[in-house]
Amino acid sequence: MMWKKAEKILKEKGMSIYRLSKITGIPDNTLRNYRSKHSDPSFTNACKIADALNISLDELRDGGEQNEHIN
């Protein structure tokens, strides 16, 4: 789940879940469910979170690490 990366960036920016909620329009209880791993964000919500944190969706999804592909 992408929440580890989101939480790291929130901390770096000094941004709360409440503030992220206001920026994205995603209810804060929904964001808290993502944090507690009760659910994963929809594609739309993942995009909103990435945009609010000013990172790419790929960075959010995989924590910015390069995935190895087997050919």
Supply the pLDDT for residue 1: 56
Residues sharing a CB contact under 8 Å with residue 4, sequence separation 6 or more, in sequence order? 63
Query: Does 21 map to a domain?
Result: yes
In a domain, 71, yes or no: no
Our count of domains for the chain comes to 1
Report the C-alpha gap between 55 and 61 in whole angstroms. 10
Q: Domain holding 19: CATH number?
A: 1.10.260.40
Q: Does the structure show a pLDDT above 90 at 15?
A: yes
pLDDT top residue among 7 and 20: 20
Residue 57 domain flag: yes
pTM of the model: 0.81
Instruction: Determine the average pLDDT of the residues in 44-55.
Output: 94
Q: State the pLDDT at residue 4.
A: 85
Give yes or no for residue 21 having a pLDDT over 90.
Answer: yes
